[in-house]
Amino acid sequence: MTIFDLTGRRALVTGSSMGIGAALAKGLAAAGASVVLNARNAERLEAEAEAMRATGAEVDTLAFDVTDAAAVRAAVEGYGKPLDILVNNAGMQHRGPLEEFEPEAFDRLMRTNVNSAFYVGQAVARGMIARGKGKIINIASVQTLLARPGIAPYTASKGAIANLTKGMATDWAKYGLNCNAIAPGYFDTPLNAALVADPEFSAWLEKRTPAGRWGKVEELVGACVFLASDAASFVNGHTLFVDGGITASL
């Protein structure tokens, strides 16, 4: 269906050298978009780009630190090509008892998960506003709504992403931008490798999730393509949960 076709559009995906970011970049490319991969590790980034190019995808790379506001602005402005779609995917996890959580770890987590979405979102939105259109997709989490022991700061960061998304939509919808979020449940990714390898946690997850399993990163692609396409032209400020039903069930 042409309403989902992304041909002729360019998408920047942060944190896209592996995991969810890489999967979303591949999905956007399959829907017709040219993609711009981002990470700090230029070598790993180029390896992912080459793998995608081998499938026929049109791929550029931008290696910059999403937590450095000046570096973000310089990279986006220096790129020189219009960005029609932004996926703010870069993120990190740090686990530990809240009463012992180091302030430095809290600050680093917030810079990576929240500040980055603001820095990159603002830098890219300026060009979108000038052109009168654009799609911003922030990656939230099941922890946007739910908490688990040992990850309170992460939960706070993902709650902030949902509300930042609402704020982006409120400020920028009048300029033709659609700003939404995707909230993944528990997916088998490098970020969750320790949990995937834990039989006790996996058993708990299978019982807790109505779908009865971990998610596969490819199962996030449809939501991303939808929000990046004309099919979502009147969707704004929304957080779309892709979680196997975990937030719907006690």
| Cα 155 from Cα 145, distance rounded (Å) | 8
Annotated catalytic residue: which of 79, 119, 154, 186?
Answer: 154
Q: Known catalytic residue: 79? A: no
List active site positions: 154
